[in-house]
Amino acid sequence: MKILRIDDFFSNTRLFNQHAKTRKINVFLLKKIPILFFANWLFIKRTKILKGWAPFPEISPKKLLEISNLLQKFDCSATLAITATFLDENSKFIPFFEKYPEQSKIIKDGVRKKIFHIANHGLTHCVVNKKKYLPKLFSSNRKYHREFYNWIPYSIKEDHIIKSNKLLEKYFNIKIDTFVPPGNVWCKDTEEILIKEGIKIILTDKKNINSNKQELKVINYDMISIHTKDIVEGSKEYFSNLLKENDYKVKSFSEFCKINNINS
């Protein structure tokens, strides 16, 4: 029995997180390097064969409706990790419902029908300072497409969590109690702020980790996590096959919490 999580709705990572595919230097070193020494140069990192991540289109309203219908058909739900603003190339923060009004409405409808459960996936998904999130000419900017590093000032992290929660709560008219750390990166400060903001659950792919805070529950099990990229770039049948192949008997996120004795 698993929950299904889909990450990266509306974040700029799909456009600006540009780097080539990587490979490990050797079996003893964990460090990853570009697949070819020049793979991160200029446009080469964006070519179909070498592209490690961006660019790719945002999920379309049509595809989103299809997902919503399929989830209904299979009698299950999905947690959508939404980044509350799209940070554009001029460092303008555009609320998700202004940048993607059609998709936002479809999600809102799905929330009402309890097909979608919403998780906070940051305000920007990336480091805002000095536009470090924009693509580089000769290297990867991947590490700047995470938002809650230890070295980011506390006041910025606090501002981002408060603002993103407010935007999501106001638009969907719900209480947000779940957080998906962008790039599975967060720190002690982040946890402190999350608790202050009423977040009770962290969903992550990071294994062997827990919070030492009683108020926070880290869920890193019984979960299939995918990205909008998988749907956008996958085959037409990608999502229906995923639902067919996996055991998503959980009707809702709250049911999952009940079964696992999690206080949501």
The answer to whether residue 182 forms part of the interface with Zn ion (CB under 5 A) is yes
- Which stretch, 126-134, 176-184, 187-195, 231-239, contacts Zn ion (CB under 5 A)? 176-184
Q: Judged by CB, which is closer to Zn ion: 44, or 134?
A: 134
Q: Judged by CB, which is closer to Zn ion: 7, or 197?
A: 7
Instruction: Report d(CA 263, CA 144) in Å as an integer.
Output: 33
The answer to whether residue 181 forms part of the interface with Zn ion (CB under 5 A) is no
By CB neighbour count within 10 A (0-12 exposed, 13-18 middle, 19+ buried), where does 149 fall? middle
Instruction: Report d(CA 157, CA 128) in Å as an integer.
Output: 11
- Which stretch, 1-9, 161-169, 187-195, 247-255, contacts Zn ion (CB under 5 A)? 1-9
Query: From residue 233 to residue 252, what is the string marking binding to Zn ion with x (rule CB under 5 A)?
Result: --------------------
The answer to whether residue 191 forms part of the interface with Zn ion (CB under 5 A) is no
List the one residue from 4, 5, 6, 7 that touches Zn ion (CB under 5 A).
Answer: 7
- Which run of H or of E encompasses 32? strand 29-34
Q: At what angle do helices 188-196 and 154-172 cross, to 10 degrees?
A: 40
Report the nearest approach of Zn ion to the CB of residue 83 (Å): 7
List the one residue from 6, 8, 164, 202 that touches Zn ion (CB under 5 A).
Answer: 8
Structure tokens at 104: 């936002």
Among residues 199, 200, 209, 134, which one has the least CA distance to residue 160? 199
Kindly list the residues in this chain that would bind Zn ion in the complex (CB under 5 A): 7-8, 182
